[in-house]
Structure 1
Amino acid sequence: MWKEAAAGALPDVGFRSPVDRTALTEAEQRLGRGLPAQPAGLLLETNGVVGTYGKDVVRSLDRIVQENLLFWSPNSFPGLYMPFDPLLFFGDNGGGDQFAFVLTPDRPDIFVWDHENDSRLWAARDLEDYLHRSLASSGDWHR
């Protein structure tokens, strides 16, 4: 399902080997919370989606864990940004802006965090919408 959705937006999209449920469970344990159903389902089909110019439209599971543990750490960006705890970062536009699911409250919408001004703006109604928008664009479509 997710591979077809991505390929529908960009025929030469790149995919990685899928993760297994054990790896997904271990990642959730490291994060201390479960992944939303949509990105978990995608990762079980492909461990990330690579767009034009090698852009990580959806990061690998290991990178998702690594990036979120960094963003959620109280010592990473003290006083620079609003808290990142309610967000699960999973992709970027290649220019520094990060895409995230909202964990609290649980919702399918995707928001973009602008690293220059700390704004969090609505970007897509769900993962399928995000894949179509991000793969079919040049990268800065959220503005």
Structure 2
Amino acid sequence: MREIFGGASAECRAPVDAAALREAERRLGRAVPAQLGALLRETDGVADAYGTDVVWPLAHIVEQNLLFWSGETFAGLYMPFDSLLFFGDNGGGDQFALVVAPERDDVFVWDHETDSRMWVAGGSTSICGALSHRTGTRAATGGGIRYAVADPRTGYFP
């Protein structure tokens, strides 16, 4: 985990067991994306040196996504969130999300002030890429950033 945070300390927790992951998927009504499930089987969330849960514990992932998907709370403020599965945040209100409809290995950052959804990482290690982008180490790896914009009528990404 230290390489994700550019050498900074990261707090890892006890792993999530298979039964807890199945229960979370039952409550969410969908499978947890493979790369997130793999990370959670290693550690139930990751906190940075300042205590920010950049990857939330599984229980928080479930609660936050059920809230965001409920529709009634955010319907008048934001585009729909049902194509995203939020899994962490940057400590300033912006949140990390995987695209789950259609399922792809891409991580977006949702800006809570503008409702913009910016692509930050893709591929089978996109969670690690997004977290290294958060700490400013992405540029050092030579990775470029491209942008994708959600369709404002549906909230889905191209």
TM-score by length of 2: 0.80
The answer as to 2:31 corresponding to 1:13 is no
Residue 80 of structure 2: which of 80, 83, 87 is its match? 83
What is the RMSD computed on CA atoms of the aligned residues? 1.8
In the alignment, the residues of structure 2 paired with residue 124 and residue 99 of structure 1 have an alpha-carbon distance, to the nearest angstrom, of 10
Match of 1:131 in 2: 131
User: Relative to structure 2, which stretch is displaced further, 51-60 or 85-94?
Assistant: 51-60
Q: Which has the higher contact order (CA 8 A, sep 6+)?
A: 1
CA distance in 1, matches of 2:49, 2:136: 9
CA shift at 1:132, angstroms?
Answer: 2.3
Amino acid at match of 1:19: V
Which protein is bigger by CA-based radius of gyration?
A: 2
Q: Which runs of 5+ in 1 are unaligned?
A: 1-5
Distance 2:103 2:75 in 1: 25
Q: Deviations 1:18-76 (Å, cap 9, x if unpaired)? A: 11000000000000000100000000010001113111110000000000000000211
- In the TM superposition, structure 1's runs of 4+ consecutive aligned residues that sit over 6 Å from their partners are none
Report the CA distance between 1:7 and its aligned residue.
1.7
> 1:17-36 residue pairs with structure 2 within 5 A?
17-36=14-33
> What's the TM-score, normalizing by structure 1?
0.87
Q: Take 2:98 and 2:75, find their aligned partners in 1: how far apart are those partners?
A: 22
> Which amino acid is 2:48 matched to?
G
**TM-fit CA distance, 1:98:** 0.8
Share of identical aligned residues, percent? Answer: 56
Secondary structure of 2:105's aligned partner: coil
**Correspondence 1:73 to 2:70:** yes
Match of 1:46 among 40, 43, 47: 43
Higher share in helix: 1
The CA distance in 1 between the partners of 2:4 and 2:68, in whole Å, is: 30
SS at match of 1:7: coil
